[in-house]
Homo-oligomer: A and B are copies of this chain.
Amino acid sequence: MTLETATEAPGPTDATRTQKRAIRTRNRLMKAALSIFSEKGFDSTTIEDITERADLGKGTFYRHFPGKDELILDLTEQSTAVLTQEIDKAATTAQSTQDLMNAFLSAHRKFFMVHREEFLLLFQSRLVLNLQKEDTLSLETPFERYLETLQRHIARFIPSPVNRAKVRHLACAIAGFVSGFFSFALVGLPEADIDLSLAPLRQTFVSAASAFLFEQKATKVMKGEEESASPSLSATVMRSLSHAKTET
């Protein structure tokens, strides 16, 4: 790209004024696009929608992006970067699997609450990936990096012979649960209470994920044993539930 024209020493200070202006413009375009995508959706957004909100000429867009597809790729990378950054920040200090799961939840919760537009963007690019299209671009790799971030943190709590497949399943489950829950909460719960609604589910989620990790470890050690539900859930609790009276 033309932005790399600087011969060497690409520090933040020695970017020429022209380059800095170009970067500013590019950022304005991305910010405007992110904003409009979260309102009317990627496909319904026109290039002029974007340049108009960014208060720029239409031609300027094409100076910075070949087309809309490259823009959503950049935005997806930017958004997953924000999310993984939150995850890393919250998860590095975790001392137990409970800590880790709590950190995951907090990071995603913050992402949903504070970076709503990015959340909606990832929802959309994930949809694009799920559609039965041909090309798909390289839109998959940001999500791959995101899942790998989860896996990396999870792996810290798994003893030596790590079952990578199971770790990945858990990563998918975690990622799926939080994004799915928030997206359904947005439909089925009053907006103001979505954040709070996560609280009562928190302990359950943490127990479940920890139990999955435990089972993962346990099956390695002792095979054939019937898996106990969870270290934090007593057998009596489970039993009492299975015989619960049916009443409406």
Size class of the contact patch on chain A: 35 or more
Residues A246 and B214 in contact, CB atoms below 8 Å apart: no
Verify B240–A190 contact, CB threshold 8 A. yes
A222 in the interface (beta carbon within 8 A): no
Rounded to whole Å, the gap between the CB of A168 and the closest CB of chain B is: 6
Is A232 among interface residues, defined by CB-CB distance under 8 A? yes
Q: Is A19 an interface residue (CB 8 A)?
A: no
Shortest A148–chain B CB gap in Å is 10
* Residues A108-159 near B (CB distance < 8 A): 120, 123-124, 126-133, 140, 143-144, 147, 155-159
Please tell me if A188 contacts chain B, counting CB pairs below 8 Å: yes
| A residues 184-208 touching B (CB-CB < 8 Å) | 184-190, 192-193, 196-197, 199-201, 203-205, 207-208
Chain B positions within 8 Å of A248 at CB level = 155-156, 162
Q: CB distance B230 to A200 under 8 Å?
A: yes
Given contacts A207-B207, A207-B238, 19 further A-B contacts (CB under 8 A): A42-B43, A120-B132, A127-B127, A129-B186, A156-B248, A157-B241, A159-B244, A169-B201, A173-B181, A176-B184, A177-B177, A177-B180, A189-B237, A193-B237, A200-B229, A203-B227, A207-B230, A210-B238, A217-B244
